[in-house]
Amino acid sequence: MESQSQVLERLRTAFESRVTIPEKFRRTQLTNLMSMIKDNEEQIVNALHKDLTKPKFEAILSEVEIVMNELHCALSNLTSWMQPEYVSKNLATKLDECFVRREPLGVVLIIGPWNYPMQLLIVPLIGAIAAGNCVVIKPSEVSAATDNLITELIPKYLSKDCYAVVRGGAKETQALLKNRFDHIFYTGSQAVARVVLQAAAVHLTPVTLELGGKCPCLIYGRVNATAAAHRLVWSKFFNAGQSCVAPDYVLCSKATCDALVPALRQVLEDFYGSDIQKSPDMSRIVTPKHWTRLMGLLNRTKGKVIVGGEHDEKDRYIAPTVVVDVAEDDALMEEEIFGPILPILTIESLEESIKLTKTKEKPLAFYVFSDESSVVKKVLENSSSGGFCSNDGIVHMALPGLPFGGVGNSGFGHYHGHWGFEAFSHQRAVMLRGWALEKLNALRYPPYSDEKLSWLRWTTSPKSCSIM
Amino acid sequence: MSRQQLAVQRARKSFQTGKTKPLESRIHQLRNLLRFVTERRKDIAEAVKKDLSKSEHGTELFETLGVEGEIKLAIEKLAEWAAPRPVEKSLLTVSDEVFVHPEPLGVVLIIGAWNYPWAVTLQPLVGAIAAGNAAVIKPSEVCCHSAKVMEELLPRYLDKDLYPVVTGGVPETQELLRQRFDHIFYTGSSAVGKLVMEAAARNLTPVTLELGGKSPCYIDKNCDITVACRRITWGKFVNCGQTCIAPDYVLCEPSIQSRVQEEIKNCIKEFYTDDPKTFEDYGRIINKRHFKRIMALMEGSTVVVGGDSDESQCYIAPTVLKNVTGESKVMKEEIFGPLLPIITVSGVDEAIQFINEREKPLVIYVFSNENKLIKRVIAETSSGALLANDCLVHFTVSSLPFGGVGHSGMGCYHGRYGFDQLSHMRSCLIKQLKMEGVNSMRYPPHTAKKLGWARFFLLKQINLGRLRRMMLLAMFVGVASFVVQRFLR
């Protein structure tokens, strides 16, 4: 078995041989990655079911299709992404060639989480490969079946010299982080992110952090409660609430809450039937440890469990649960829930709700449900978050055109589509000057003078080229 | 509460009032900054003269001209930069609004350097203000006169609460770094860059690091050596070599080495006269510590031009060194002084190898008539930037990102890049609660049929452009066949 340093040395040698630079190579790897997903769809679905009891539908949509979509996007656009970008010049540089070149960074590290173990590992990988890097892939050991599958499949489909899977738990990851990488892409929690950043600082390695937070969901003004309930239930209980962009808690008036709760109850029955534990469309909590954590929150809440609450430890099952009369200092408001529990806080005014969200850390996503565009606009303009979506949940992150990332405590940097390519590239400024116009250059040489200076002012101002 | 804590707290409170949101208020501050730079030209020049012995013209050329340009560009383009940026949609979001919304980050910390105390502190500030942030400005204490002027005069032009100037040395900077910021913009050495990043890690604060390195300069034998040497001499000895993008060392073939030496010697005389020590447009080393550091670097190499010095004035003559190898003392660290080592290599292959054995620099310079050679250097090396056939001037093109890679830094700025760097690009999807029927394919209970439709509709990207073209084509074919049938049969 190769040691971590042997793996890194192999990848660095491969990168220095410049094998990942040509477009053809990157295309081949991306195409192979596509085959890997297509050929093994069943195994992927099975592994995800083993890890999270993920329903086939969810697995296909959020772990297979979204990855395929990103691959299509990369393959269709790679040529244009790799093109140099020519930029505007001033008069002094009119005859020069000025452009920005996208170049690979080198050997990058991608650390994946357990909640969408395929998507959140492979989508960054697509960006890294497209950008021409060599990649060390570290899947989460918590989603063990997917970890096994990725370890088996990656070397079968991708170049073994350029892409390697490194496995292990906290100890192995800490050892891995001691090495020097040219970029680290981490998806996970704030606590581990701090460790990653500290390790990166030692080598001046740039980092992308995709973290989480409590994503608020405000429901105000005139609202179609049924439609809102459908979308809220879907986005909250997808993957049993274990999504970094799941609506964490709801803020609305008492009247809205009274209209919403029966709608939620109805939708839950429509979706999962009367015995939700028997529905094949509901996931489970990933580990007994997380199940215990969530049950702890439910036991400590001072709110009223109005829907759900059923649980089964052996099955790691917690029913989709709605809790009302939740206060700001409730146990459910302490940390990111990351589970199928939906607290509803009753706050009469929209302004008060917005004020409450401002006392909390900036989340990964911010949601508002309303038929009134003025309400949507007010929330958008008075909040800060990684992303924003009105009248739906999660779906904004499925669009490759939108940068997916956080701000503040929810992270920094972003990816998806072209943004992923940029995240793993260095934007190198290139300027090719000619030999002519040396007389013009003389304006800048000593001895300096007022006259020279005023000529230089004119020729180097960005406006001056518009006269020409 | 410490002075630093107070400044950050006031800045945050002020930011939270929302007063930096309207573009007019940002433009107002930018105009004030421009007034500061133009009205206080004399104060700025005097301070820089005391700090670095730079002449007034030199200050204007290398410090304030750039800042003025950046401010004017930001004022002109702000509306464009700050506008929501539309994005490609999927089949199902065709009727939704999808855009990226640039938003302020909050309170930014800008730590300036001493070599161009105004340029490298105020240019990031332009980006910070334009992006709608508050900014705590920490000028370098090493250029103490400039720091003092900044502290005294800037608050007379800019909002005191939003843009406080906090001066001080290492302990004060450490106290500042203990506070929470939404972004830290640091210009300086790699060693301190690591400490800044480590401090930022505590609060998960993103950083922009503009560091340095040894920027190599390769002179191909096939080039106009006279012009090349003029440009290199200029680039090297501006500010006495204390420029992060100064050509640190020269690589060339032995066959042209003496010519290069001779040309540079002549240029030095032309630019700085026979006695640079008495010449107004030649500067000084910032302080005794750096003077001693640079003098010690000459050990083991041979001086061919210059070499004389005067510690009492922190004066080091423009100096060229030969008999330098990769192991020489002068090659062990970034020189940041007026010593130009010439190292001989057998050709561009060896030059590329030499460069790649070392940390990625802020810039690579290559002088050659052959485009192919230049393209090779571009393709086979990595650096913040690459400039062919000149030195320094890429800094003046605001449409080029200015930043490093690897040990020379992370992030970039200038022009729109500065605005983007200090903004949060927020993804926005504005949907309506209508068309709920379409959504039903994604809801449980899941069936194979729903899955089929979902796979097609939910995620497929469509190229609207191509679809439009196809529809146009179909329309044209329809119309054409109609015309043919009706009129031509």
Q: Which CATH code for domain A4-212+412-426?
A: 3.40.605.10
The residue among B209, B459, B462 with the most chain A CBs within 10 A of its CB, best to mutate, is B459
For residues A184 and A105, give the distance between their C-alpha atoms in angstroms, rounded to a whole number.
11
Query: What is the pLDDT, as a whole number, of residue A98?
Result: 94
Q: Is the pLDDT of residue B366 over 50?
A: yes
Q: Which CATH class is domain B3-211+413-425?
A: alpha beta
Which residue is catalytic, options B217, B244, B267, B391?
Answer: B244
Query: What is the pLDDT, as a whole number, of residue B11?
Result: 98
Q: Is the pLDDT of residue A320 over 70?
A: yes
Q: Which of B325, B316, B331, B317 is nearest to B214 (CA)?
A: B331
Burial class (CB in 10 A: 0-12, 13-18, 19+), B48: buried
Q: How far is B486 from chain A (nearest CA, A)?
A: 42
Dump the DSSP string for A184-217.
EEEES-HHHHHHHHHHHHHHT--EEEE----EEE
Q: Do B405 and A426 touch (CB under 8 A)?
A: yes
Partner residue opposite A462 with nearest CB, options B69, B88, B401: B69
Query: What is the pLDDT, as a whole number, of residue B278?
Result: 94
For residues B233 and B243, give the distance between their C-alpha atoms in angstroms, rounded to a whole number.
13
Across the range A307-336, mean pLDDT stands at 96
Chain A contacts in chain B segment 270-329 (CB below 8 A): 270-272, 279-282
Sort out which chain B residues have CB atoms less than 8 A from A407's CB and list them. Answer: 105, 424, 426
Closest chain B residue to A416 measured between Cα atoms?
A: B427
Q: Is the pLDDT of residue A58 over 50?
A: yes
Query: What is the pLDDT, as a whole number, of residue A441?
Result: 79
Q: Which of B367, B341, B286 is nearest to B115 (CA)?
A: B286
pLDDT digits 0-9 by tens, A264-291: 999 999 999 999 999 999 999 999 999 9
- pLDDT band per the 50, 70, 90 thresholds, residue A459: confident
Q: Is the pLDDT of residue A386 over 60?
A: yes
Q: Is the pLDDT of residue B257 over 90?
A: yes
Chain A contacts in chain B segment 8-37 (CB below 8 A): 16, 21
Tokens of A425: 């590239």
Which CATH number is B216-403's, of 3.40.309.10, 3.30.1370.100, 3.30.479.30, 1.10.357.10?
A: 3.40.309.10
Give bridge partners of residue A318 from the DSSP assignment. A311
More confident residue, B6 or A461: B6
Query: What is the pLDDT, as a whole number, of residue B469?
Result: 65
Q: Do A431 and B101 touch (CB under 8 A)?
A: no
Partner residue opposite B98 with nearest CB, options A224, A399, A444: A399
pTM of the shown model: 0.94
Query: What is the pLDDT, as a whole number, of residue A466?
Result: 41
Across the range A99-108, mean pLDDT stands at 98
For residues B69 and B56, give the distance between their C-alpha atoms in angstroms, rounded to a whole number.
18
A163 near A110, Cβ under 8 Å? Answer: no
Active site residue A98: no
Question: What is the separation, in whole angstroms, between the first and last Cα of chain B?
Answer: 92
Partner residue opposite A204 with nearest CB, options B209, B272, B281: B209
More confident residue, A192 or A443: A192
Query: What is the pLDDT, as a whole number, of residue A443?
Result: 81
Query: What is the pLDDT, as a whole number, of residue B460?
Result: 60
Which residue is catalytic, options A58, A63, A70, A210?
Answer: A210
For residues B114 and B187, give the distance between their C-alpha atoms in angstroms, rounded to a whole number.
9
Across the range A93-118, mean pLDDT stands at 94
Tokens of A255: 């009247």
Distances (CA, A) of A4 to A136, A161, A167, A175, A176: 10, 14, 10, 8, 7
pLDDT digits 0-9 by tens, A412-454: 999 999 999 999 999 999 999 988 777 777 888 888 888 888 8
For the ranges A315-319, B92-96, B294-298, the lowest mean pLDDT is seen at: B92-96
Q: Do B388 and A431 touch (CB under 8 A)?
A: yes
3-class SS shares of chain A: helix, strand, coil, % to 5: 50, 20, 35
Query: What is the pLDDT, as a whole number, of residue B407?
Result: 97
Per cent of chain B over pLDDT 90 is 83
Q: Is the pLDDT of residue B357 over 60?
A: yes
Q: Is the pLDDT of residue B409 over 60?
A: yes
Q: Is the pLDDT of residue A54 over 50?
A: yes
Asked if the C-beta of B446 comes within 8 angstroms of chain A's C-beta atoms, the answer is: yes
Is the CATH code 3.40.309.10 the one for domain A216-405? yes
Sort out which chain A residues have CB atoms less than 8 A from B271's CB and list them. Answer: 445-447
pLDDT digits 0-9 by tens, B138-153: 999 999 999 999 999 9
Q: Is the pLDDT of residue B488 over 70?
A: no
- pLDDT band per the 50, 70, 90 thresholds, residue B459: low
Return residue ranges of chain A for CATH 3.40.309.10.
Answer: 216-405
Active site residue A381: no
Query: What is the pLDDT, as a whole number, of residue B467?
Result: 62
Query: What is the pLDDT, as a whole number, of residue A202?
Result: 97
Per cent of chain A over pLDDT 70 is 98
Return residue ranges of chain B for CATH 3.40.309.10.
Answer: 216-403
Q: Is the pLDDT of residue B464 over 70?
A: no
Asked if the C-beta of B378 comes within 8 angstroms of chain A's C-beta atoms, the answer is: yes
Give bridge partners of residue A432 from the DSSP assignment. A97, B388
Q: How far is B292 from chain A (nearest CA, A)?
A: 27
Closest chain B residue to A389 measured between Cα atoms?
A: B429
pLDDT digits 0-9 by tens, A152-165: 999 999 999 999 99
What are the residues whose beta carbons fall under 8 Å from the beta carbon of B22, sequence distance 6 or more? none
Closest chain B residue to A448 measured between Cα atoms?
A: B57
B242 near B280, Cβ under 8 Å? Answer: no
- pLDDT band per the 50, 70, 90 thresholds, residue B62: confident
Q: Which of B251, B239, B64, B265 is nearest to B150 (CA)?
A: B64
B422 near B56, Cβ under 8 Å? Answer: no
Which ipTM was obtained for this model?
0.95
Q: Which of A118, A78, A135, A134 is nearest to A418 (CA)?
A: A78
For residues A173 and A171, give the distance between their C-alpha atoms in angstroms, rounded to a whole number.
5
Q: How far is A296 from chain B (nearest CA, A)?
A: 28
Per cent of chain A over pLDDT 90 is 89
- pLDDT band per the 50, 70, 90 thresholds, residue A468: very low
Q: Is the pLDDT of residue B86 over 60?
A: yes
- Residue-averaged pLDDT of chain A: 94
Return residue ranges of chain B for CATH 3.40.605.10.
Answer: 3-211+413-425
Return residue ranges of chain A for CATH 3.40.605.10.
Answer: 4-212+412-426
For residues A182 and A200, give the distance between their C-alpha atoms in angstroms, rounded to a whole number.
9
